[in-house]
Chains A and B, each alone.
Chain A
Amino acid sequence: MISLQKISKFFNKGKVNQVIALNEVSLQIDKGEFVVIVGANGSGKTTLLNIIEGSQMPTAGIVEINGKDITPFPEYKRSRWVARVFQNPNNGTAPDLTILDNFRLASLRTQRKKLVIGINEAFRRNVQEKIADLGMGLENKIDQPMGNLSGGQRQALTLLMSVMDDTDILLLDEPTAALDPKSALVVMNLANKFNRDLGITTVLITHNLKDAHVYGTRLIQMQEGKIVRDLNPKDKTGLLIQEIYRWFE
């Protein structure tokens, strides 16, 4: 599904303030895996995710999705496979557009946006039903601007929007960092459900070690631009949370 081959990323290359964000990282992620990445600040987690989604280009190395070399592809071209939820709940949605407009755009993530009015009664009902499943009581607010909602509500909707169109890969960059515990639980359970029920390959970055322990089929620890631990499902199942805390001491 995702194949990263000897990815390096330097900032300010060749200058005195050169930073090595990623140092020849190779990683294979299979279809349907739920990979959780933990690591201290500056360990290269977010850079790795940015390189998969295309918002940053690697200094060296190859990015493949489904066996296709997509290294030079800009972000908007990778949206054919990749959906994402940002750390900042404001990033994933357009605040001045209605909830319905936001969902319409998300339902066309992999398609062309044509000169036809695509929002009809059937689409409205479909969105309402999906939002009602969240149990947040937002199904009757779909004509309101997205900006009226709280961060937790917006983040849950962003996640829901990510599966409005065909999604192979879901990238979650600390999606619950800005949320209260209750909203965070809604978001994490939803992500887990999408991975399990829809078989979406999921990559989660988190600083919440409890989440890292509970969720995911594979656990990766990064340090100074390298992968230092990579636990397969078997090893992860038997892992105690205290053990993960010890990695950071």
Chain B
Amino acid sequence: MNQFYLTAVQLSVCLGPMAMGIFITMKVFNIPDITTDGSYTLGAVVTAVLLTNHWTALAVLPICMLTGAVAGICTGLIHTKLRIDALLAGILVMTGLYSVNLTILGRSNVPLINMHTLFNTISIFGTDLYNQLFVALIIIIVLVFLLRYLLLTDFGIAMRATGNNPVMTKSMGINNDIIKIIGLAIANALTALSGFLVAQYQNFADINMGIGIVITGLGSVLIADALIIWMNVTNIGLQILLVLAGSLLFQMVLAFTLAMGVDPNFLKMVTALFVLLIVALPRVSQQLKGSISNNSKI
């Protein structure tokens, strides 16, 4: 397979946790959370600093997720306790995190070459890329099972109901504020985990690596959402898998763009246009259907 596409597969697996996080905020809780850009970089810079201080990758993982969770809790507190719009709360935390990230990292870029990372712990296969993919896949499979379990528990039902009908959940003894804060914490912990994976995969952490990453996650969830509605998927495990499929498709489109020889500077534009396409397509097709049926009436 072309190097572009293999890289895309690997990157989509590494970004999978973030897509799952956005699935939680956007689909489960119906909150547009864009803390993501900041918490993703946060995960990466914490990873870089701890690895260069000779921590083992497995010890770094929970610390990373914890810092992401704290970022999510900040957004959650601002949103629920101060009654500030979720979008603005996310932007505020994301902006603040830039300084936090820069302080943690110490400079704008830290390379992790020749470092002992998660991805060079296992060598079952001949090529590095397959070994890396194997490790990342194990993590993502564990996460899919955990998230599926979480959403099926009584607490998970409460989470899903809070996003679906907050008036009802209050009358069911649910503290909507607390449950939203927990949801944002889980989502941003997952996002930080993506930062952890990507930093080690690409062997560096960069202060700007998170810019616009939220749109990648949103795109993945939007693709999944279109498929969920189209195929009427009610199974939660399947919904999570579709989110990962969305992440894969997204990276494939970007890889295809690169393989075609498009200037990498245009990658963000391609990303934006692709997301626009996903969002607009169902609406446009609906309008077309509407206009056809209107014409047939005449």
Contact = CB atoms under 8 A, between A and B. Distances in A.
Main secondary structure of the interface of B (DSSP, over half): helix
B161 A97 contact: yes
B266 interface: no
A104 B158 CA distance: 9
A79 B160 contact: no
B153 A92 contact: no
A29 interface: no
A92 B161 CA distance: 11
Interface in A70-109: 74-77, 79-80, 82-84, 86, 90-98, 101-102, 104-106, 108-109
B159 to A, nearest CB: 9
Give the residue among B152, B154, B167 with the most A Cβ atoms within 10 A.
B154
B157 interface: yes
Contacts of A79: 170-173
Given A95-B165, A97-B160, A114 B172 contact: no
Interface in B143-192: 149-150, 152-155, 157-158, 160-161, 164-165, 167-176
Most chain B C-beta atoms within 10 Å of own C-beta, residue among A94, A105, A108: A94
B154 A114 contact: yes
Interface in A185-200: none
Contacts of A115: 150, 153-155
A113 interface: yes
B234 interface: yes
A113 B157 contact: yes
A110 interface: yes
Give 8 nearest A-B pairs by CB, closest first.
A79-B173, A94-B164, A113-B158, A94-B161, A94-B165, A113-B154, A118-B154, A75-B170
Interface of A: 53, 55, 74-77, 79-80, 82-84, 86, 90-98, 101-102, 104-106, 108-111, 113-119, 143, 145
